Amino acid sequence: MNQDIASSAPSAPSGVAGFVNEVRCYALTEWRVLARERTAMVFIFILPAVLSAILGPGVSGLDAAPGAMGRATIGFAVMFSYMVVTYSGHAFYRDFWYHTHGRQALIRPSRLAFAMGKVLPACAMSFVQLLLFTGFAAAFLGLPLNGNVLQVALTGAALVTSGSALGFLLFAITRSTATLSNLSYLVLVTFSAVGGAIVATEALPGWSRTLGYATPHYWALRALNEATFGPGRWSVVLQSTAVILTFTVVCATAASLAFDFRDAKHDTT
Amino acid sequence: MGSAKGTALLSAERLSFAFPQGAPVLREVSLHLKGGASVGLLGANGAGKTTLLGAITGTVRGTTGGSVRLDVGGLHARRAIGFATQAIALYPVLTVEENVGHLARLLLGRGEAKAAIARTLEEFALGPIARTRVHHLSGGQRRLVHLAASFVHAPPIRLLDEPTVALDFEARQLVVRRVRAWREEGAAVLVTAHYPEDIEELSTELVLLRDGKTRDLGELGTVLSNQTRTLSLRGARPDASWELTLATSSLEEVRSKLGEVPSDVHLSELRLSGNRLRDILLRDPSLSAFARESEGP
């Protein structure tokens, strides 16, 4: 063999350092793309703010309740934080839009590192949005905070992680961006509706409430309500986040099984 | 960089491939890429050249058979192989440097990436546009960035699928120089191209892919030396043109061959009778004629 050229080629990091390097590389590139394309900023930050301002507590049927505006704001924040499903899915589809998927198939990074790096920026944006909106509601809209910020942060992290895992799953099982987008908007609206993010759970019909138990939104709002209006019990917050994380693990496992770096996607516009 | 050339760095043996629910595209193909050599892969459109590259790199999904073996001192395939696909694979909103840097950091780690990025940008003359976003570049510039990104990790095995598409003369010459430099450094190169002229400039050996099978044609020089030279006389009238086949193109042979042209349009008469002869062209052996014959029905 040609020792010179092979031995002169520097080695890539391996082990934990290699894993961290892969996550960082994909995350940095995704962050740059998201920041420059800007549509994610509009959907994740601006849309919930506008809807909260226009619709306020009226749509949730809570307008007479104390802190209702703050509660409605959190609802919209939870709802639009699930745009992370769309943007996580797009992060994977991006390689097909720009023909870079062949490179991933050749490089074969760790699946976990690849998936984490791809979804991390969208996750971080949604997480920051939840914290910002909750903070704003607590500071200016009369939302009480009987629990603590850590409970809000834990719930937010669990929720956006579940959305990313669902985005990964939708990417793995769909063939086109259009299908992924349609499904993710369907998820956004139905999960928010039955999970109590738009109209408070107590105002929903019984069957809707029953369906709501299957959504991460219900459990996220349960934990957030506990941290804000409720007495801030950790048991309720941890139980809720555990349910959300179970949903995450199921989605991520299914996605990982369905995903293949060599997959071809059609109609990638 | 010195090199021990001539040993196969990549050996594909009896490689077969069919897309899911599709007919076989490759049938027991064998191919050897040697250090310091550049194999030009000839084949008509749809012959399976791109699929062969995909099957070698394991980047396409389907039913495969046979084996691909690397002899690159234990390097992982991702480090050993660089593959410039036919489609330009770049993130348009990122700059040239960011696109190249993404792959450099991914494949080499942060420590080695900086020097690799600088070297690659220089090799492909991309310094002046390093901070330009890719969507602002021309098709030819994008092609160069794509090539630069594909080989930023200096892999010993380099696969290029149609690397000259959309390139102007200067950029094409740059690619030719790069491929020659890689060969001199000891890399093994496999290249496909639309035009035989490109293959001729980029390759030292030829392989023909036809009906899902490869035929090793040997060294480019040998293939060309087996081709004939032609002397073309083109008159002003359409019926006053002749194409003469030459074995050596010596002056004696040219004179002798000119004797085959009817005497009433002899070269000297044509000159004397006022610009009736439009041009005389001596064509060296080229791959174009060979490719036409080889890829024909």
CATH code, domain carrying B194? 3.40.50.300
Which residues of chain B does A1 touch, with a Cβ-Cβ cutoff of 8 Å?
Answer: 4, 7, 9, 35, 71-73
Task: Check pLDDT > 60 for residue A243.
Answer: yes
Within 10 angstroms of residue B83's Cβ, the number of other Cβ atoms is 24
Kindly state whether residue A4 falls inside one of the protein's structural domains: no
Q: What is the pLDDT of residue A39?
A: 86
> Count of alpha carbons within 13 Å of A204, Cβ hemisphere only?
21
Kindly state whether residue A50 falls inside one of the protein's structural domains: yes
Any alpha helices (H) in B29-168, and if so which ranges?
49-57, 77-80, 96-108, 110-123, 139-150
Q: Are residues A106 and B75, on separate chains, in Cβ contact within 8 Å?
A: no
* Across A115-141, average pLDDT: 93
Distance, in Å, from the CA atom of B72 to the CA atom of A1, rounded to the nearest integer, reads 6
Which domain covers residue B75, as residue numbers? 8-225
Which comes out higher in pLDDT, residue B178 or B271? Answer: B178
B17 touching chain A per CB within 8 A: no
Return mean pLDDT, chain A.
90
Which comes out higher in pLDDT, residue B296 or A198? Answer: A198
Kindly state whether residue A7 falls inside one of the protein's structural domains: no
Residue B214: closest CA among B51, B55, B59, B28: B28
Kindly state whether residue B3 falls inside one of the protein's structural domains: no
Task: Check pLDDT > 70 for residue A2.
Answer: no
Which comes out higher in pLDDT, residue A147 or B261? Answer: A147
Q: What is the pLDDT of residue B128?
A: 97
Kindly state whether residue B1 falls inside one of the protein's structural domains: no
Return mean pLDDT, chain B.
86
Q: Are residues B18 and B102 part of one domain?
A: yes
Q: What is the pLDDT of residue A48?
A: 83
Q: What is the pLDDT of residue A177?
A: 95
* Across B177-195, average pLDDT: 94
Q: Are residues B235 and B141 part of one domain?
A: no
B112 touching chain A per CB within 8 A: yes
A20 touching chain B per CB within 8 A: no
Q: Are residues B182 and B284 part of one domain?
A: no
What is chain A's Cα-based Rg?
20
- What would the pLDDT profile of B34-56 be if each residue is shown by its tens digit? 999 999 999 888 899 999 999 99
Among B196, B225, B254, identify where a domain stops: B225
Q: Are residues A4 and B154, on separate chains, in Cβ contact within 8 Å?
A: no
Kindly state whether residue B108 falls inside one of the protein's structural domains: yes
Q: Are residues A8 and B1, on separate chains, in Cβ contact within 8 Å?
A: yes
Kindly state whether residue A6 falls inside one of the protein's structural domains: no
A30 touching chain B per CB within 8 A: no
Q: Are residues B108 and B130 part of one domain?
A: yes
Pair of tokens at residue B173: 């010459």
Kindly state whether residue A37 falls inside one of the protein's structural domains: yes
B64 touching chain A per CB within 8 A: no
Kindly state whether residue B45 falls inside one of the protein's structural domains: yes
Q: What is the pLDDT of residue B52?
A: 96
Q: Are residues B150 and B179 part of one domain?
A: yes
Kindly state whether residue A109 falls inside one of the protein's structural domains: yes
Which domain covers residue A37, as residue numbers? 15-258
- Which region among A34-48, A114-128, A140-154 has the lowest average model confidence (pLDDT)? A34-48
B78 touching chain A per CB within 8 A: yes
Q: What is the pLDDT of residue B160?
A: 98
- What would the pLDDT profile of B16-38 be if each residue is shown by its tens digit? 999 988 889 999 999 999 999 99
Distances (CA, A) of B121 to A37, A51, A105, A226, B131: 26, 48, 25, 56, 11
Distance, in Å, from the CA atom of A73 to the CA atom of A70, rounded to the nearest integer, reads 5
Binned at pLDDT 50, 70 and 90, residue B235 comes out as low
Which residues of chain B does A107 touch, with a Cβ-Cβ cutoff of 8 Å?
Answer: 78, 106-107
Task: Check pLDDT > 70 for residue B199.
Answer: yes
- Which region among A26-30, A226-230, B146-150 has the lowest average model confidence (pLDDT)? A226-230
In the block, tokens 């408070």 appear at: A200
CA dihedral A121, A125, A127, A128 (to 10 degrees): 130
Closest CA–CA distance from residue B67 to any residue of chain A (Å): 16
Q: How many domains does chain B have?
A: 2
Q: How many domains does chain A have?
A: 1
Q: Are residues B80 and A6, on separate chains, in Cβ contact within 8 Å?
A: yes
* Across B225-254, average pLDDT: 67
Kindly state whether residue B238 falls inside one of the protein's structural domains: yes
Q: Are residues B97 and B13 part of one domain?
A: yes
- What would the pLDDT profile of A69-94 be if each residue is shown by its tens digit? 888 888 988 999 999 999 999 999 99
Task: Check pLDDT > 60 for residue B184.
Answer: yes
